[in-house]
Every structure is written in C-alpha cells, then in structure tokens.
Chain A
Amino acid sequence: MIYLLPHTISNSAKRFPAREAFRFGSKSLTFNEIEAKMNQLANLLHEIGIEKGDRIGIYLNRSLETAIAMYGIMQAGAIYVPLDPKVPIERTQFLINDCGIKILITNNAQRRNIQNIVAPNIKLDAIIGVKEAGNIPTFLWEKLAEQPITFTLPFSVLETDVAYIIYTSGSTGNPKGIMHTHASGLAYARLTADLYDLNENDVFANHAPIYFDISTLGYFTAPFVGGCTVIASDAHIVMPASLSQLIEKEKITVWYSVPLALIQLLQNGLLEEKSVSNLRWVLYAGEAFPPKFLRQLMELWSHAKFSNIYGPTELNQCTYFNIPSPPIGEAGIPLGKVWKNTESIVLDENEEAVKSGVGELCVRSTTMMKGYWQKPELTEQSFYRRKNNTNTDDIFYRTGDLVRLDENNVLHFLGRKDHQVKIRGHRVELGSIESKLVSHEAVEEAAVLAVRKKEENLELEAVVILQFDMEISEEELILFLKNKLPIYAIPERITFVASFPRTGSGKVKRSALKELLHN
C-alpha cells in the first residue's frame, strides 16, 4: 500500500525495475537503483543517529543527488528541507537555526559555500557530501555504497506526518517554513496523474529547483506513475540553447516551468527548428503568461496541450485551466476551476462567500499544508474556518489573492490582496497596470511599484525590461497607457532596466527593486 512518498519508489521498482526514474546529463538511476540508494542513505542517517521528524537540509545544485537525498531522508522517517545554494550564506545559516536542521546533504560543487556556512553558531551533527567542514563530522557520497540496500523503519511514520518543509523566499517579510505531509504530497501526485493522464511512458522535464514546489511534479508524480524525470542542470537554465536541445534530445512529453523559461526560449529563436513531436503537455505556473508570448508558443507547438496552473506553496496546486486555443487579444488567461477533491470559496470584504464577483480566494484540499513551522498563530491566521453540520470546522487556506468569480464559475486572477493600493482615493491593482504594459510589443516584462512620497502620498512607478532590439521612449509608453487606463492608474515614472532582481523561484523581488530605484 502506498501511504508514504518513498513507497512510490518501491512500488515502481517492483513494476519497472530497470526503467529509468531520473536522468541528469549522461547519468541516470533506474527505479531499482534509486530504491537501493534511498535505503542506503536512510541506513547512513540512522547510523549517524537521527530520530523521527528530524530536519535534514538538502544543499545541492540541480543534480541526481537531489532525488536520492529527498527520498533517502523521507525513507528514514525524517523531514527534508530544500535550501537554495545561491542565497547569501547568512540566510542559509538563519534557516539552519530556524528549522533546527541536524544534518546537511550536499556535494563537492558546494564545498566553498559549506566552508563559509560552518561557523561557531551552527550546530550540525554531520554533513554528507564533502571531505571536510571544520569540526563537523563529514561523510562522502561514496560511503553510501557500504550500507545495506534494504531498510526497515525503527518507528512508525504515518501519512499525516510531515515529509518536507519548503521555506518561502521572504519577498514579503520573514521566511516561513511551509510544512507538507506525505499525504499532501501523495494527494498532489494522484491529482496531477489523474488530471493530465500521466503514465509510465511520460518523460518529465524538471526545470525548477527543489526548493520551488513546481519540482514536485517531476520528483513526486513521475515516480508515482513510473515515468522518468530529466533534471535540467543549472547550466541548462542559464543557456537556453542547451535547454531547447534537451527538450528534443530527451524526447520530453511533459514540460512544467515558470513562463519566463519558455519566453526565453522563444525570444532567442531557439525553438523553430526543434522537433518536439513527443511533447504532449506544456504546464506553467508561478506567474501570468503574457498572451502575446503564449500565442506564439501555442502556434509553434500546436500539437501540445497547454495548462495554466495556480496554487500557492501552501496548497501546491489547486486550480487549472486547459487552454483550448491560442489566446486572441490581451486578456489574461483564467485560473479556471479547482481540481478534484478540492473546494474553493471567494470571500468579500465582509468575509461572506460570494456566488460571483470579486474577493479573496480561499481553498480547502487534500494537498494543503499542515501549517507553518513553529508559527501556530500565523498558521491559524492563514486559515478561514467554516462551521459544518457535524459541528466541526472546514478549514480553508486564505490565499491572499484577489480573484473574480464569473457567472460560469470560472476564476480569474486579479492580483495580490496586498498589491492593491489606493491612489488618490481610487483602488488600483498593480498587476493590471503591469499586464497593460506587457501588452505593448516593445515590452518584455514590467513591474509597477507603489512608492510612498512625502508622508501620505503614494505614487506609482513602473520598471520595464524592453524586448531585445526594441526601443521606445518613456513618453510614448505613457501615452500608450493613457489610452488603456484611467488617469490615476498611470505611473508617474517609467524606468528602463536590463533585468530584475529575482527570488530563487524567479519571481520579481519588489523590495529590492524599490531600493534599486531610490539609490
């Protein structure tokens, strides 16, 4: 019976022992091999001395080891915490202490960072993957080979126990650790497999790093259905020419990433002569896909189906919209509807559920988090409780996103509740100005910020990245907006930049952008 995430590996190892589970460059792991390796890692972790529910950090670049680390940790009855090796050392040290991480799993490519992380205030029992790290005992990956390839848990782990903790990037305040259970991870795997009809013949392209939940399709769903996940390397992410080759060469059938990755491939003209006849699903999430780019891509890959996925990390995924045909015009793509085993309500300002209209989206689902790590009050604040007739509560997660529910029960994204600002008495949604800017042919990306000028007045400022080889003046762009938006929603200033500061998951870091503008 499958009730813990590592059971998916063992189950697929029985069904398809010699099929590849994960591929990275020229290296790969069959289901048999990854089952053996996760057991060896679980044995090593118990030899080092872990207890149930201990947190173990994964400090790895994109690599095959990420899969072994995730499953080995969960198999051992511990909780994996993916860490971003690209963030400043102080943030990693903060997370190690905040989450009480006991062991770090890394590799030789991270040896320089590891030397800097190891400091007197960092208490770790062991580091796996480097030769030395100050006074902390270390184990090399090769050491795994000495461990038995079977493993038996010495304590009980239930599906409702925490399996992994993903930290938010902290673009809005302090980082929070989002706790997911084996049950929420498996619910996600089952729902995606059902919705997109995924099976053992699918080859998944994994573009996202493991600290971003888009990766759970490749890491959870693929082993669940017995498919193969091709992990793109960090170099692939930076080099679109190699990434487009990967889609062709690896015969990818399911692609899932943020829109930005696909836009970069389009912009560099790298997709035209690529044969991608195996591709059957293009899934995207994380941000809106500007219709002008989506149209181009859907026309180019006309044989593939496209789906817009939405869901905060607290819910992993909750809605989907399968896009029937290339979008006409510049209207945003709807969020669609919630998937199976999930309920959504839209709450207005008085906390009343509306039948249609605008409000905050709240969702309850089997994919929902257990709560925020060591923040019970924050967890409770993020929930909306509705009394049901058994005199218990239905618990919804408040997404903080404003949506419009239309008469066909389709959800449309309006923006973050906290991106809604009042300018001279008018309510303005920053996201809607951004999408108007991006609808201009010369604009690749736009961010609109509300900046506080002189005490009480908020002013709008836009920051824009232009398309390669395109030019437009600030005046022309403002004139363009004036034809589309009310006067109070027109930014006072438009600044052109070459790139945006981004979080680890590729989202625009608004706080850093604000600082950039005013220094």
Chain B
Amino acid sequence: MNEQIINFIIQELHGGAEDLEIMAEDDLLGSGLVESMSMMRLIQFIEETYDLKVAPQEMTIENFMTVEAIVTYVESKNK
C-alpha cells in the first residue's frame, strides 16, 4: 500500500518526476510534497482505491500527515 500511495503522489501530483524520492515517514504537507488542492485529490484516490469514505472529522493530522499514517488509517477502516 505504501508504494501504491507514493506512486500516486509521484505520478499524479508531480507529473511523474523521476528523481523524486518519498519516504513513508515524510511530512507530506510540511515538505510541500502535497498541497491543499492535491490533498483533496489524494483523499479521493484513497477513497476510490480502498473503497472507503473519509468523513470530515477523520481528515486529521493523525490520519494524513505521512504515507505511514495513511496506511495505518486505511487498515483500521478496512478491518
């Protein structure tokens, strides 16, 4: 799942930038890898790919700050 999400960020949000290296624990918003508009696209991708619905009150730092956090969140939703 890590790879799938990182791949989406590189391919869809950064136009396939080849030399972009993203770690699962990178702060996505602090580093500027994801911005407010692209965060919405990332959430849409997660909802479609993992067949879940992100409620507004679930859109929090704990769940979306890093790829690692997103994976934990998705796994807890799909239990």
Q: How far is the CB of A211 from chain B (nearest CB, A)?
A: 14
Q: How far is the CB of B30 from chain A (nearest CB, A)?
A: 4
**Most interface-central of A61, A239, A269 (chain B CB within 10 A):** A239
Are A109 and B60 touching (Cβ within 8 A)?
Answer: no
Chain B interface residue number, banded: 20 to 34
Q: How far is the CB of A274 from chain B (nearest CB, A)?
A: 11
Query: What 0/1 readout, one digit per residue, does chain B (3-40) give for beta carbons within 8 Å of chain A?
Result: 00000000000000000110000111111110111010
Q: Which of A233, A240, A269 contacts B30 (CB 8 A)?
A: A233
Are A234 and B56 touching (Cβ within 8 A)?
Answer: no
Are A109 and B26 touching (Cβ within 8 A)?
Answer: yes
Interface of A is mostly: helix
In the complex, whether A242 has a CB less than 8 A from a CB of chain B is yes
Give complex CA distance A110, B21 in Å: 13
Are B60 and A239 touching (Cβ within 8 A)?
Answer: yes
Are B65 and A112 touching (Cβ within 8 A)?
Answer: no
Are B26 and A241 touching (Cβ within 8 A)?
Answer: no
In the complex, whether A236 has a CB less than 8 A from a CB of chain B is yes
Contacts of B32 in A (CB 8 A): 61, 85-86, 109-110, 113
Are B56 and A241 touching (Cβ within 8 A)?
Answer: yes
Are B39 and A238 touching (Cβ within 8 A)?
Answer: yes
Query: What 0/1 readout, one digit per residue, does chain B (42-65) give for beta carbons within 8 Å of chain A?
Result: 000000000000001111111011
**Contact flag A239-B59 (CB < 8 Å), given A109-B30, A233-B30:** yes
Are B61 and A235 touching (Cβ within 8 A)?
Answer: yes
Instruction: Count residues of chain A with CB under 8 A from any CB of chain B.
Output: 24
Contacts of B36 in A (CB 8 A): 237-238
Are B31 and A109 touching (Cβ within 8 A)?
Answer: yes
**Most interface-central of A234, A240, A242, A245 (chain B CB within 10 A):** A234
Contacts of A235 in B (CB 8 A): 27-30, 61, 64-65
Give complex CA distance A103, B27 in Å: 25
In the complex, whether A62 has a CB less than 8 A from a CB of chain B is yes
Interface of B is mostly: loop
Q: How far is the CB of B19 from chain A (nearest CB, A)?
A: 9
Give complex CA distance A245, B30 in Å: 19
In the complex, whether A63 has a CB less than 8 A from a CB of chain B is yes
Closest to A246 in B: B61
Contacts of A113 in B (CB 8 A): 32
**Contact flag A270-B57 (CB < 8 Å), given A61-B30, A238-B36:** yes
Q: How far is the CB of B56 from chain A (nearest CB, A)?
A: 5
Give complex CA distance A235, B59 in Å: 10
**Contact flag A242-B61 (CB < 8 Å), given A85-B32, A235-B29:** yes
Contacts of A62 in B (CB 8 A): 30
Are B29 and A242 touching (Cβ within 8 A)?
Answer: no
> Which residues of A (77-92) have their CB < 8 Å from a CB of B?
85-86
> Which residues of A (192-244) have their CB < 8 Å from a CB of B?
233-242
Q: How far is the CB of A107 from chain B (nearest CB, A)?
A: 9
Contacts of A112 in B (CB 8 A): 20-21, 31, 33
Contacts of A86 in B (CB 8 A): 32, 35
Q: How far is the CB of B37 from chain A (nearest CB, A)?
A: 7
Give complex CA distance A252, B58 in Å: 22
Contacts of B64 in A (CB 8 A): 235, 239
Contacts of A85 in B (CB 8 A): 32
Are A241 and B39 touching (Cβ within 8 A)?
Answer: no
Q: Which of B20, B37, B39, B61 contacts A236 (CB 8 A)?
A: B61
Are A234 and B29 touching (Cβ within 8 A)?
Answer: yes
Give complex CA distance A62, B64 in Å: 17
**Contact flag A242-B60 (CB < 8 Å), given A85-B32, A86-B35:** yes
Q: How far is the CB of B60 from chain A (nearest CB, A)?
A: 5
Contacts of B31 in A (CB 8 A): 61, 109-110, 112
In the complex, whether A296 has a CB less than 8 A from a CB of chain B is no
Give complex CA distance A503, B72 in Å: 34
Contacts of A270 in B (CB 8 A): 56-57
Are B35 and A233 touching (Cβ within 8 A)?
Answer: no
Closest to B38 in A: A238
Contacts of B62 in A (CB 8 A): 242
**Most interface-central of B31, B37, B58, B64 (chain A CB within 10 A):** B31
Q: How far is the CB of A446 from chain B (nearest CB, A)?
A: 19
In the complex, whether A160 has a CB less than 8 A from a CB of chain B is no
**Most interface-central of B20, B28, B39, B59 (chain A CB within 10 A):** B59
Give complex CA distance A238, B38 in Å: 11
**Most interface-central of B56, B62, B64 (chain A CB within 10 A):** B56
Q: 5 extra interchain contacts, Cβ-Cβ under 8 A, other than A235-B29, A242-B59?
A: A62-B30, A112-B31, A113-B32, A239-B64, A268-B56
Residues of A within 8 A of B (CB): 61-63, 85-86, 109-110, 112-113, 233-242, 245, 268-270, 499
Q: Which 10 A-B pairs give the minimum distances between C-beta atoms?
A: A109-B31, A61-B30, A234-B29, A235-B29, A242-B61, A242-B60, A238-B36, A235-B61, A234-B30, A109-B30
28 contacts between A and B (CB under 8 A): A61-B29, A61-B30, A61-B31, A61-B32, A85-B32, A86-B35, A109-B26, A109-B30, A109-B31, A110-B32, A112-B21, A112-B33, A233-B27, A234-B27, A234-B29, A235-B27, A235-B29, A235-B30, A237-B36, A238-B29, A238-B35, A238-B39, A240-B56, A240-B59, A242-B60, A242-B62, A245-B60, A269-B56
Residues of B within 8 A of A (CB): 20-21, 26-33, 35-37, 39, 56-62, 64-65
